[in-house]
A and B are shown apart, each in its own frame.
Chain A
Amino acid sequence: MKKDKKILFLQGNEVCVEAALYAGLDFYAGYPITPSTEIAELLALRLPQKGGKFIQMEDEIASMCAIIGASLTGHKSMTATSGPGFSLKQEAIGYAIMAEVPCVVVNVQRGGPSTGLPTKVSQGDVMQARWGTHGDHSIIALTASNHQDLFSITVEAFNLAETYRTPVILLFDEIVGHMRERLVMPEPGEIPLLERLRTSVKEGTDYHPYLPREDGRLPMSDFGGVHRYNVTGLVHNMWGFPSDQPNIAHGLIHHLYDKIENNVNAINRMKEYYLDDAECVLISYGSSARSALQEVENRRAHGDRLGLLELQTLWPFPVKAVRERCEKAKNILVVEMNMGQILQEVKKAVHDPDKVFLVNRIDGTFISPEDIRNVYRIIQSKGV
């Protein structure tokens, strides 16, 4: 008989910690900020117990820099923050993109801009996750609406960071982060873990840290190992040494962009509910998707054909998958807690942007099924 699985009742932030440890996290640097602080507090307890490293740095960007340093020595590294802290980390996130250093950055979103609504929910950092740091680049950003998914998506974040040698943003929100619900703890090995691809080049033979293989991947060598090489945020050649040659710059920017944008399907995670016959497709993510699913089921009970496409990969945006799922829909409602950041992406993706409508809240309160129903009725010309 299969032994019973461990069932826990946890906050989302605590689930994030359990999942990160499951994925092999052994270095965390952070700075206290609401509503993500529980992640740091729990890791301050848990990491030393397994011999891992926890450090509370002097500020947000220092935390980001420290995890990059630790990743280069071969450790799975993470930081967590919220709102203003995410802004402060951006320059170093850009460095991790440019230097291709795997790491995971959690942003438990709160209301902004600026100090905004520190204890209230928001999904206002979607575009900042995409374009927060300067320059042309691509990025991976994932999210989840419930604790079971939050666990697997967090593990996925570590896997994708190693696969694509890039920072991965976990874009949670205050509701998911602070909500308590059940987690069925996955057994060891139940979710596959992808380890770092390390070079097979032997000591004494030239190792080119930034020379992509045929498949675009770059095997790494740990700092402190037998290969000594240069890492820089400047445009660099295959040695990791600064270069301002146009062909080198062109090739590097394309590589950074293409390694992610050419793998949209492989990176895409989404969940589909009642889409087969849906006349109205709701598109949502994070905690908003919980209300969206509730309203889909409420309307289904009244015979209305609604469906939900729940996005888990926000970046790179799954343009083709969204277009396909929306092909037969008469209307599309994007449900999110911002002024329409994913709405614009959906409008760009679908054939007829005029049939896409926004259901949002920007007041720090949770979007409700009623909010969705009101907009749904308006576009059906039924009145609220």
Chain B
Amino acid sequence: MSVSLKNYVRERFLPHIWCPGCGHGIVMNNMIRAIAELGLNKNDLVMVTGIGCSARISGYMDFHTLHTIHGRALAFATGVKLSRPELTLIVPMGDGDALAIGGNHFIHAARRNIDITAIIMNNSIYGMTGGQYSPLSGYGKKATTAPFGNIDESFDIAALAKAAGASFVARTTTYHVAALKKILKEAITHKGFSVVEVMSQCPTYFGRKNKIGGAVDMLNFYKDNTVPIGSPKKAENPGLIETGVFVNENRPEYCAEYDKTVQKAQKAR
């Protein structure tokens, strides 16, 4: 790690708790690079997380960091953002954190289009509690709570975020590191609710339970099973996962709209 990147981490609290081969370190690395390249001031950055493997990322970052309760990171972040709109809010979440227990907060933050960047580190499993199926595990997948195969269908995070009203929606993987950094930069700069799904390997539980192999095999899986949005290959093979930016629109942002409400209220007096 170069000196400039070290500037963004709290070395005192390293090493991190993630397993060998975990994809979350790749997300953290590229998030730091994105922030460094954007030249953001650490005093203006607030990172809010919930509970799970992904949520531990906040402790390692030298920003204002708020490690909260399971599923509610976006609700805390909404309070921080609305009370101090000039701050930049980044909310990394796991797939269970964001879309099972936190699903309601996710769709409502998207609906408000509040200027927060939600990064969903989707490893398709509850890692911290030992490998239970999540709303992103997928039909037929094995987990400690699905020994006979999962019968739950998955959410499509990008479609859900778009339908709920997010004005920036993207998907990438830990294999596509150049795209990951670029997308994170766009998402953080975007004025409105940004959702970035990063498919991130969990070799310890998801990979092992589903016999995908180790971290390298899982990264290769991402390489072989993804296509850019609009690729003709998708029509031939519907099982391929599209990556790229699905939505990038300028729409009224919540805090800006609230300012208008204040103006109305003060004018009416």
Contacts and interface: CB of A to CB of B under 8 A. Distances in A.
Given A229-B65, A231-B67, A241-B13, A68 B79 contact: yes
A231 B67 CA distance: 6
A189 interface: no
Interface in B68-111: 68-69, 72, 75-84, 86-87, 104-105, 108
Given A62-B105, A228-B62, A48 B68 contact: no
Contact of B42 (A49, A92, A228, A230): A228
A61 B58 contact: no
A72 B43 contact: no
B265 to A, nearest CB: 4
Interface size class of A (residues with CB under 8 A): 35 or more
B262 interface: yes
A70 B82 contact: yes
Given A59-B104, A69-B76, A233-B69, A241 B59 contact: yes
Nearest to B79: A69
Contact of A48 (B75, B81, B264): B264
A223 B46 contact: yes
B64 interface: yes
A347 interface: no
A118 B65 CA distance: 39
A358 to B, nearest CB: 37
B180 interface: no
Contacts of A53: 82-83, 258
Contacts of B66: 69, 72, 223, 230-231
Interface string A65-83: 1111111111101000000
A29 interface: yes
A198 B148 CA distance: 56
Interface string A215-247: 000000001111011111110000101100000
B266 interface: yes
Interface of A (DSSP majority class)? mixed
Contact of B77 (A51, A63, A69, A226): A69
Nearest to B106: A58
A238 to B, nearest CB: 12
A210 interface: no
B225 to A, nearest CB: 34
Contact of B76 (A58, A66, A228): A66
Interface string B29-44: 0000000000000111
Given A62-B75, A230-B58, A232-B59, A48 B83 contact: no
Contacts of B62: 228
A91 interface: yes
B80 A91 contact: no
B211 interface: no
Interface of A: 27, 29, 45, 48-49, 51, 53, 55, 57-59, 61-63, 65-75, 77, 91-92, 95, 223-226, 228-234, 239, 241-242
Given A62-B72, A226-B43, A233-B67, A51 B79 contact: no
Given A69-B76, A92-B69, A228 B64 contact: yes
Nearest to B48: A69
Contact of B67 (A57, A224, A230): A230
A233 B79 contact: no
Interface in B133-155: none
A59 B258 CA distance: 19
Interface string B1-22: 0000000001011000000000
Interface of B: 10, 12-13, 42-44, 46, 48, 58-59, 62-69, 72, 75-84, 86-87, 104-105, 108, 258, 261-262, 264-266, 269
Given A66-B78, A70-B83, A75-B83, A228 B43 contact: yes
Given A61-B75, A66-B76, A231-B66, 4 more contacts: A65-B68, A69-B48, A69-B76, A69-B81
Nearest to A242: B59
Given A48-B265, A49-B269, A62-B72, A70 B79 contact: yes
Contacts of A55: 78, 82, 258
Interface of B (DSSP majority class)? helix
A23 B164 CA distance: 37
A223 B67 CA distance: 13
25 contacts: A55-B258, A57-B75, A57-B78, A58-B75, A58-B105, A59-B104, A61-B72, A67-B79, A68-B76, A69-B48, A69-B83, A73-B84, A74-B83, A77-B79, A92-B72, A224-B87, A228-B43, A229-B64, A230-B10, A232-B68, A233-B67, A233-B68, A239-B12, A239-B13, A241-B12
Contacts of B76: 65-66, 68-69
Interface centre among B58, B83, B104, B105 (most CB of A within 10 A): B83
A55 B112 CA distance: 11
Contacts of A224: 43-44, 46, 64, 84, 86-87
A49 B104 CA distance: 30
A229 B262 CA distance: 31
B243 to A, nearest CB: 29
B44 A228 contact: no
A15 B36 CA distance: 49
Contact of A225 (B43, B59, B83): B43
A226 to B, nearest CB: 6
A42 to B, nearest CB: 13
A62 B108 CA distance: 10
Contacts of B59: 230, 232, 241-242
